[in-house]
Homo-oligomer: A and B are copies of this chain.
Amino acid sequence: MSKSSDSISKWVIRRLPRYYRFLMELEKAGIAKISSAELAKKMGFTASQIRQDLNCFGGFGQQGYGYNVTALRAEIQEILGLNTRQNAILIGAGNLGKAVATHIEFEKRGLSLCAVFDNNPALIGNQIGQLTVRDISSLEEVCSSEKPSVAVLCIPKEAARNLADRLIALGIKGFWNFSHYDLLHHSDHIVVENVHLSDSLMTLNYLVKNTQEK
């Protein structure tokens, strides 16, 4: 039914969480059905794009009717892999790491945060939510028992560069990278999602400063 994930453009995949978000809202509001035209208007897309996107995964609509909100939400939830959990570890228990660990609802996103590490003795032992910050030296031990597939990097550039290979050797398949370093996609099997907050802020700064005169 669903085509190989490689044939689906990354643009489509990046839109899936957005569809999911809007469908959750519609469902919460008690809306039972929606047409691609209505959804397009709400989301600022075209109806065409929505139908194209969804048809990458299957025909979820019904001609003459539209889409059942709950059914479509459930489909996308399944496609996004939110019904199963894979373990994740977080490295770097500073301000940002702490905020990510407590603010992000990993369980709702298909993951389980199972350990937090740091190399700073002042932070090791601290409690972050349910977890205790561990010494980075226990990384191997924890990975061999918990088998995490995702690593969240909230550490400085240099640390990220140095740690990447070690983490891959321990079985990490995906990086959620908040560091300033552009983690390269080492191999086809390693996935990297860069969150460059500073880049994002510089883009905003540029746009605000260059949008006034028009």
Contact = CB atoms under 8 A, between A and B. Distances in A.
A102 interface: yes
Contacts of A173: 208, 211-212
Interface residues of A, number: 66
Interface string A153-197: 000000000000000000001111000101010001101010111
A196 B174 CA distance: 18
B212 A111 contact: no
Contact of A193 (B16, B98, B200, B210): B200
Contact of A17 (B103, B105, B109, B196): B196
B205 A16 contact: no
A94 B99 CA distance: 9
A207 B174 contact: yes
Nearest to A110: B205
Contacts of A95: 98-99, 102-103
18 contacts: A4-B214, A44-B184, A79-B206, A80-B206, A81-B209, A84-B209, A86-B208, A94-B103, A96-B99, A96-B103, A109-B198, A110-B209, A150-B205, A174-B211, A176-B200, A193-B201, A193-B203, A195-B195
